[in-house]
C-alpha cells in the first residue's frame, strides 16, 4: 500500500505496523520484540514514515515515549488502514484490534463490571481492555487509549466528552481517627488538618472550599495508591467520588459522605477525529448500562 504523489508518497503497510507497535508498546525495544525485528529497524522504519508524511508522530525527547498530537490522530487512521488491509488479504479471518478504555482510578464505579460483562456477550470478537493510567485524561490525550472514563471538567483541546451520570462525593479519613466516628462530614470538618491532593489524576483542588475556609495545609501525591497510603497514615484527609469507596477499599481508610460537596460528573471521553470502529457501540452500551438503575 502506497501513494503516488504528495505527502505520504511511498508509505507502506510495514511503516504503519511499525508505528502502531511503537504506539501500543510504548517504546522501541518492546515494539521490535513484537515485530521480531531489531530495534534499529523499527527506529529507521518509523523515521521513514515521519519523513514521508512530513510530520513528527512520536515525541522522543521525554523519558516516557509519547505520541505527538499529530501522532495520536494518525494512530486511529493507521489502525483502520492496517485492519482493512488485513481483512482484504485474509478473508474470513478478521482480526479487530482491542478497544482500549482508560481510567484514572475508579472506572465506571458500580457500572464497571456490568459494562465489561455485557460487552463480552455482545461484542466477543472485539476485546475491551480496561487500562488504569495515572494522568488527567487517562492516556487519551497521548493516544494510549481509544476512550476514557474521566471525572470533573476536562478542557484538554481535541477531546470530546459526554456526561454519563453524576456521583456524590465522599471524605476519606484515617479509619482510627476521630472523623471516622461520624456518620457523615462536611467540607468544613476537613479544614482543621491537611488535605491530600492527587495533582496528577485527581479532581479535588482547594477550589472546592470557600476562599475564607480552606484546609490548613495540603499534601500532594501522584496517584491513588499514594493517596490512600497517606490518608491511612493519618497525614491528611481526602475527597473523592463515591465510587472510590467501592473500587478502592482500604483497611486504614474510612469513607464518609460529604453533605455539602457538589456532585462529580462522570464523563466518557474520546478524541475528536477518526476513532476505533467499535467506539460507537461502547458509547451506546455505556449509556444503556448507567440507566439500568433507574428502570
What is residue 64's predicted lDDT score, i.e. its pLDDT? 67
What is residue 294's predicted lDDT score, i.e. its pLDDT? 47
Residue closest to 148 by CA, chosen among 125, 130, 175, 172:
130
Give the whole-angstrom CA distance, residue 132 versus residue 243: 15
Number of neighbouring beta carbons within 10 Å of residue 12: 15
Listed as own residue / partner, the contacts of 215-220 with beta carbons closer than 8 Å and 24 or more positions apart are 215/190, 215/191, 216/191, 216/192, 217/193, 218/194, 219/194, 219/195, 220/196
Q: Could you give the 3-state DSSP secondary structure of residue 79?
A: helix
The 10s digit of each residue's pLDDT in 31-41 is 888 888 899 99
Give the whole-angstrom CA distance, residue 1 versus residue 85: 8
**Domains present along the chain, CATH in parentheses:** 13-89 (1.10.10.10), 99-166+265-294 (3.40.190.10), 169-262 (3.40.190.10)
The 10s digit of each residue's pLDDT in 8-20 is 678 999 999 999 8
Give the whole-angstrom CA distance, residue 147 versus residue 256: 31
The 10s digit of each residue's pLDDT in 257-267 is 999 999 999 99
Give the whole-angstrom CA distance, residue 16 versus residue 46: 8
Residue 255, C-alpha cell as written in the block = 469513607
Give the whole-angstrom CA distance, residue 95 versus residue 83: 7
Residue closest to 242 by CA, chosen among 174, 184, 190:
184
Backbone angles phi, psi at 91, to 5 degrees: -60, 140
Name 250's Cβ contacts closer than 8 Å, sequence gap at least 6. 228, 231, 232
Q: What angle do CA 98, 241, 102 make, to 5 degrees?
A: 15
What is residue 85's predicted lDDT score, i.e. its pLDDT? 81
Distances, alpha carbon 25 to alpha carbons 32, 59, 144, 223, 251, in Å: 9, 14, 9, 22, 35
DSSP string, 171-211: EEEETTSGGGGSS-B-GGGGSSSEEEEETTT----GGGS-T
The 10s digit of each residue's pLDDT in 123-161 is 998 999 999 998 899 988 888 899 999 999 998 888 999
Residue 96, C-alpha cell as written in the block = 479487530
Bridge partners, residue 253, by sequence: 174
Backbone angles phi, psi at 35, to 5 degrees: -85, -10
Confidence of residue 7 (pLDDT cuts 50, 70, 90): low
Mean pLDDT of 165-189: 97
Strands 217-221 and 194-198: parallel
Residue 53, C-alpha cell as written in the block = 508524511
The 10s digit of each residue's pLDDT in 65-97 is 788 888 888 887 888 788 778 767 766 555 668
Residue closest to 262 by CA, chosen among 103, 149, 152:
152
pTM for this structure? 0.72
What is residue 106's predicted lDDT score, i.e. its pLDDT? 94
The 10s digit of each residue's pLDDT in 207-263 is 999 999 999 999 999 999 999 999 999 999 999 999 999 999 999 999 999 999 999
Amino acid at each position: 500500500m502506497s501513494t503516488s504523489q504528495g505527502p505520504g508518497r511511498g508509505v507502506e503497510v510495514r511503516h504503519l505496523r511499525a508505528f502502531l507497535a511503537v504506539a501500543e508498546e510504548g517504546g522501541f525495544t518492546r515494539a521490535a520484540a513484537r515485530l521480531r525485528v531489531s530495534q534499529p529497524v523499527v527506529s529507521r522504519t518509523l523515521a521513514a514514515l515521519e519523513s514521508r508524511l512530513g510530520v513528527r508522530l512520536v515525541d522522543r525527547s521525554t523519558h516516557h515515549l509519547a505520541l505527538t498530537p499529530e501522532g495520536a490522530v494518525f494512530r486511529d487512521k493507521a489502525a483502520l488502514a492496517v485492519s482493512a488491509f488485513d481483512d482484504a488479504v485474509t478473508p474470513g479471518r478478521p482480526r479487530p484490534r482491542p478497544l482500549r478504555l482508560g481510567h484514572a482510578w475508579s472506572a465506571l464505579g458500580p457500572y464497571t463490571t456490568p459494562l465489561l460483562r455485557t460487552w463480552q456477550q455482545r461484542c466477543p470478537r472485539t476485546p475491551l481492555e480496561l487500562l488504569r493510567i495515572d494522568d488527567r485524561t487517562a492516556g487519551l490525550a497521548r493516544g494510549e487509549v481509544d476512550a476514557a472514563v474521566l471525572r470533573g471538567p476536562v478542557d484538554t483541546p481535541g477531546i470530546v466528552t459526554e456526561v454519563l451520570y453524576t456521583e456524590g462525593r465522599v471524605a476519606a479519613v484515617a479509619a482510627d481517627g476521630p472523623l471516622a466516628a461520624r456518620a457523615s462530614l462536611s467540607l468544613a470538618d476537613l479544614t482543621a488538618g491537611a488535605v491530600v491532593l492527587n495533582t496528577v489524576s485527581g479532581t479535588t483542588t482547594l477550589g472546592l472550599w470557600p476562599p475564607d475556609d480552606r484546609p490548613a495545609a495540603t499534601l500532594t501525591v501522584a496517584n491513588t495508591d499514594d493517596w490512600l497510603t497517606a490518608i491511612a497514615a493519618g497525614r491528611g484527609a481526602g475527597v473523592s467520588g463515591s465510587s472510590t469507596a467501592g473500587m478502592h477499599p482500604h483497611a486504614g481508610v474510612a469513607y464518609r459522605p460529604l453533605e455539602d460537596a457538589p456532585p462529580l460528573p462522570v464523563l466518557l471521553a474520546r478524541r475528536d477525529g477518526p476513532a476505533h470502529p467499535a467506539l460507537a457501540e461502547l458509547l451506546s452500551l455505556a449509556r444503556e448500562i448507567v440507566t439500568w438503575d433507574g428502570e
